[in-house]
Amino acid sequence: MLMPRYYFAEDFRPFQDYFLSQPHTEKTFQKGGLLWEPGRPYEKIHYILSGAAMHYALHESGRRKIISFHGPGTVFPGYRQNGYRIECTLATQALSDMRVLEFTVPQFTAMFVSSPALSRQVVNWYSMYINRFLYETIHQEFNPTRIKLCNLLYLLLMNRPAASGPAIGMTQEELADILGMSRVQVSRELSALRKQGILSTGRGGLTVTSPLKLARLCTSETV
């Protein structure tokens, strides 16, 4: 059974040579840059060669909701033919310098139609992405604050960038923006987990020192 994911990478790696052989534009984005113009629906599809991006929503109240992270070997945003109003409130920001292959929707449509293997993987990817939302909506929503945080940390630990080890390179603010909690709440819960010997915190991130203890605090839908 697949676990919910917040970090997507390597999902389309087997298609890299195929993507390179098809019409595309190679682009770079600097750290902190946006992959498309704010307030507009996204009109291009990117296969990420290197670097990583953060996808989030901006509510009209000014609050930010982090949705997912996307690294090398994956396609984002996903392929679709219809535009949706909600896209105008979404943004994707480069967390590091990025290099991507950029496709227009018609270009990706041609590949989708001509490659059954690619079309199957697009469907599989959307299934994983939808699973992440279902997990949050019908499970995480009803968990106490500490359980929400433990579940998130465990999933980030189990599905993280290669070579990152037990480190989770996220700030307290970013964790709060994923969970829809205040930074004060997250800080309080992290302090409690630190006292239990489950993690250590540092500037710009944290390290899980006892994955086993962390897992014991998670729900069965997570572990």
Provide the terminal-to-terminal Cα distance of the chain, rounded to the nearest Å: 11
> What is the per-residue pLDDT for 69?
95
Q: What is the mean pLDDT of residues 1-19?
A: 94
- Answer whether the bond into residue 211 is a cis peptide, omega within 30°: no
Task: Name the nearest CA neighbour of 105 among 192, 191, 46, 171.
Answer: 46
The yes-or-no verdict on residue 164 having pLDDT over 90 is: no
pTM above 0.95, yes or no: no
The secondary element (H helix, E strand) that includes residue 84 is none
Residue 96 corresponds to which tokens in the numbers above?
Answer: 């590091």
The yes-or-no verdict on residue 120 having pLDDT over 80 is: yes
Q: Are 219 and 140 in contact (CB under 8 A)?
A: no
> What is the per-residue pLDDT for 83?
84
- pLDDT band for position 25 (50/70/90)? very high
Per the prediction, the chain carries an average pLDDT of 93
Residue 103 corresponds to which tokens in the numbers above?
Answer: 């496709």
Q: What is the mean pLDDT of residues 15-28?
A: 98
- DSSP-assigned beta bridge partners for residue 166: none
> What is the per-residue pLDDT for 27?
97
Of 17-21, 168-172, 178-182, highest mean pLDDT: 17-21
The yes-or-no verdict on residue 52 having pLDDT over 70 is: yes
- pLDDT band for position 92 (50/70/90)? very high
Q: Where would I find the H helices in the chain? A: 16-21, 105-114, 116-138, 145-158, 172-179, 183-195, 211-216
The yes-or-no verdict on residue 62 having pLDDT over 90 is: no
The yes-or-no verdict on residue 162 having pLDDT over 80 is: no
The yes-or-no verdict on residue 163 having pLDDT over 70 is: no
